[in-house]
């Protein structure tokens, strides 16, 4: 165990626990626990959204994917960034105008009832847990490398910490951990990028020439086809990343932490700029790994590429810089997993416990008590699953979560907001279809269906590692078919009321909308 590494990690741990204690003193109501009572500014929430979104896959996985596979690794960055345009123009403001704490609030504004709330809550829980798994996996590998702690022990420790943050600090602690994480992360990546460029006299051409010489891919390093041999695979990945963001529960609940739609717009614009600049810098980090570490050395040290950023930091600045970057990666993972856990916990407590089991009359103390228990349970399930996925690149695991989110939640949200004919039956069939085909196609794909992962068949039934190009249309198709084969809603004016509120934020019943 390196003393420098230990000191940095101890500093991060102490700081985040202090934030949690401070938040616990101010989070005595459900409104504060779920959404900070909408007290964040647009700029603060934009920082928090960036902190929620820039995950282990972005900081660790993408830099490694670029280093190992060249241009194809950058496809992840492109998809992650473009997704925010869809979120800005179609989703963000209506979500804020219709909801209060959870995605189920938004959907139930049009389709009230226990059945719809349970379905949306279960979808939120499933997607959140699927996304927590790669974050914990990356955290376990990172702690194992730096502190010499066993992978399983590291995962359990990280899982325990995220549970503490959510159970005691709620959305207040989660948001401020994310804001601070964004500042440290962008600063660390910017510092590494400057060091890399300075070693080549600020001449990008010299860096590219060095990279080309240091990889076995040679001229093909800067061309597409190293990671994805099929153009269909590339397109499918981009669809999953672009459309999946709009269905991620932990991103959507961030729009409830500001006071109005104007602050939502500022939040998304701020987050987009931060995320865009960050992904440009990950490109430089990936090149820097090849230039200063070497492709062969990286393959020997970490064939998954998940630890390429800390390894680059070590090559550029020794133990001190590596400890700093690794500590930043650590707080990055903590910020994302706490965001996911708070989304899942809020959904279970607010939707299932309060609205379904207690019929909307649960006490404040009762909800807060159940929220703490739910955080513990969600943390336990996530830890158990993360222990089984330590050998898979975290970027791939994240892309699978995006497939499920894009195929399940996106059709539900879009049709709820913009399709008058859409009804409860279509909502149920859409969610069921999208979720089931996503899981099925992933399980039968090449990343899972092989003997090394313990499956019975040696060849994939579905040839696509990222089946979004199939599952996303099927999710929309399931919602459409379910709607068209069932009877239309009797209250035709209800959609007009919901649609008007989604666009304006005002409660007003609209007559003769088409005129």
Amino acid 416: pLDDT: 94
DSSP per position, 15-34: HHHHHHHHHHTT--SHHHHH
DSSP per position, 444-474: TSTTTSSGGGT-S-SS-SS--SSTHHHHHHH
pLDDT in tens, 69-116: 888 888 878 887 888 888 888 898 999 999 888 999 999 999 998 999
User: Residue 261's closest CA among 92, 508, 91, 31?
Assistant: 92
| Residues belonging to the chain | 515
User: Residue 298's closest CA among 139, 142, 62, 64?
Assistant: 64
Contact call for residues 394 and 463 (beta carbons, < 8 A)? no
Fill in the DSSP letter of residue 390: T
Amino acid 82: pLDDT: 85
Fill in the DSSP letter of residue 349: I
Instruction: Say how far apart CA 53 and CA 35 lie, in whole Å.
Output: 17
Instruction: Say how far apart CA 313 and CA 191 lie, in whole Å.
Output: 10
Mapped onto helix, strand or coil, the DSSP state of residue 113 is: coil
Residue 452, number of CB atoms within 10 A of its CB: 7
pTM score: 0.87
Instruction: Say how far apart CA 55 and CA 142 lie, in whole Å.
Output: 14
User: Residue 261's closest CA among 83, 42, 53, 500?
Assistant: 42
Mapped onto helix, strand or coil, the DSSP state of residue 258 is: strand
- Mean pLDDT of the region 123-143: 83
pLDDT in tens, 353-393: 999 999 888 888 899 899 989 999 998 988 888 887 766 65
Residue 19, number of CB atoms within 10 A of its CB: 20
More confident of the two residues 363 and 3: 363
Instruction: Say how far apart CA 266 and CA 474 lie, in whole Å.
Output: 34
User: For a pLDDT cut of 90, what percent of the chain falls above it?
Assistant: 30
pLDDT in tens, 480-502: 999 999 988 777 778 888 999 98
Amino acid 29: pLDDT: 83
Instruction: Say how far apart CA 412 and CA 245 lie, in whole Å.
Output: 14
Angle at 480 between CA 474 and CA 485, to 5 degrees: 125
pLDDT higher than threshold 90 for residue 121: yes
Instruction: Say how far apart CA 199 and CA 293 lie, in whole Å.
Output: 14
User: For a pLDDT cut of 70, what percent of the chain falls above it?
Assistant: 92
Fill in the DSSP letter of residue 313: H
The residues pairing with 258 across neighbouring beta strands, listed in sequence order, are: 40
Residue 40: what are its φ and ψ, rounded to 5°? -75, 145
Instruction: Say how far apart CA 497 and CA 428 lie, in whole Å.
Output: 22
Contact call for residues 54 and 182 (beta carbons, < 8 A)? yes
Residue 238, number of CB atoms within 10 A of its CB: 19
Q: Name every residue whose Cβ is closer than 8 Å to that of residue 441 and which is 6 or more positions away in sequence.
A: 403, 462, 464, 467, 470, 471
Instruction: Say how far apart CA 239 and CA 243 lie, in whole Å.
Output: 6
Angle at 244 between CA 497 and CA 371, to 5 degrees: 75
Place of tokens 């597409």: 224
Amino acid 451: pLDDT: 42
Place of tokens 């800390």: 310
pLDDT higher than threshold 70 for residue 18: yes
Instruction: Say how far apart CA 413 and CA 397 lie, in whole Å.
Output: 24
Place of tokens 């159940």: 370
The residues pairing with 40 across neighbouring beta strands, listed in sequence order, are: 258
Instruction: Say how far apart CA 217 and CA 228 lie, in whole Å.
Output: 14
pLDDT in tens, 180-228: 989 988 998 999 999 999 999 898 888 888 888 878 776 677 877 777 7
- Domains in the chain: ranges and CATH: 3-19+41-390 (1.20.1730.10)
Fill in the DSSP letter of residue 360: T
Helices (H) and strands (E) in the chain, counts: 22, 0
pLDDT higher than threshold 70 for residue 396: no
Residue 456: what are its φ and ψ, rounded to 5°? -75, -40
358 class by beta-carbon count within 10 Å (0-12 exposed, 13-18 middle, 19+ buried): middle
Mapped onto helix, strand or coil, the DSSP state of residue 248 is: coil
- Mean pLDDT of the region 454-483: 82
pLDDT in tens, 399-427: 678 899 999 999 999 999 999 999 999 99
Contact call for residues 54 and 394 (beta carbons, < 8 A)? no
């Amino acid at each position: 165990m390196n003393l420098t590494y230990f000191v940095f990690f101890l500093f991060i741990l102490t700081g985040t626990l202090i934030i949690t204690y401070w938040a616990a003193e101010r989070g005595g109501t459900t409104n504060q626990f779920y959404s900070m009572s909408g007290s964040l500014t647009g700029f603060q929430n934009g920082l928090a959204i960036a902190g929620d979104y820039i995950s282990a896959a972005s900081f660790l996985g993408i830099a490694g994917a670029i280093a190992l596979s060249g241009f194809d690794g950058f496809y992840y960055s492109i998809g992650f960034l473009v997704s925010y345009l869809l979120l800005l123009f179609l989703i963000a403001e209506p979500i804020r105008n219709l909801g209060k704490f959870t995605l189920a609030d938004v959907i139930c504004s049009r389709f009230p009832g226990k059945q719809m709330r349970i379905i949306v809550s279960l979808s939120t829980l499933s997607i959140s847990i699927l996304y927590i798994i790669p974050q914990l996996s990356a955290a376990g590998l990172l702690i194992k490398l730096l502190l010499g702690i066993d992978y399983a022990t590291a995962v359990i420790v990280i899982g325990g910490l995220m549970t503490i943050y959510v159970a005691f600090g709620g959305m207040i602690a989660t948001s401020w951990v994310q804001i601070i994480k964004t500042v440290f992360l962008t600063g660390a990546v910017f510092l590494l990028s400057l060091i890399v460029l300075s070693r080549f006299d600020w001449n990008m051409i010299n860096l590219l020439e060095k990279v080309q010489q240091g990889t076995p891919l040679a001229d093909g390093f800067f061309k597409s086809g190293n990671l994805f041999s099929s153009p269909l695979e590339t397109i499918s990945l981009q669809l999953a990343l672009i459309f999946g963001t709009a269905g991620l529960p932990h991103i959507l609940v961030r729009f409830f932490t500001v006071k109005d739609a104007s602050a939502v717009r500022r939040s998304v614009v701020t987050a987009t700029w931060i995320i865009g600049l960050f992904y440009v810098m990950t490109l430089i980090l990936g090149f820097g790994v090849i230039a200063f570490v070497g492709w062969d050395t990286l393959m020997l040290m970490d064939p998954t590429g998940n630890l390429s950023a800390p390894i680059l930091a070590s090559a550029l600045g020794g133990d001190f810089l590596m400890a700093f970057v690794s500590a930043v990666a650590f707080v990055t993972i903590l910020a994302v997993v706490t965001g996911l856990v708070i989304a899942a916990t809020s959904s279970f407590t607010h939707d299932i416990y309060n609205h379904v089991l207690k019929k909307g009359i649960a006490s404040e103390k009762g909800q807060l008590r159940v929220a703490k228990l739910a955080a513990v349970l969600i943390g336990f399930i996530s830890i158990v699953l993360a222990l089984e996925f330590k050998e898979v690149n975290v970027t791939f695991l994240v892309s699978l979560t995006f497939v499920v989110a894009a195929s399940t939640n996106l059709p539900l949200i879009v049709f709820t907001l913009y399709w008058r004919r859409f009804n409860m039956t279509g909502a149920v069939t859409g969610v069921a279809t999208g979720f089931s085909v996503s899981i099925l196609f992933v399980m039968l794909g090449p990343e899972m269906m092989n003997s090394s992962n313990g499956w019975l068949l040696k060849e994939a039934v579905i040839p696509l590692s990222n089946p979004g190009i199939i599952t996303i249309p099927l999710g929309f198709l399931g919602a459409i078919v379910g709607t068209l084969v069932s009877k239309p809603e009797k209250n035709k004016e209800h959609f007009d009321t919901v649609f008007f509120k989604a666009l304006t934020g005002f409660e007003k019943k609209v007559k003769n909308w088409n005129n």
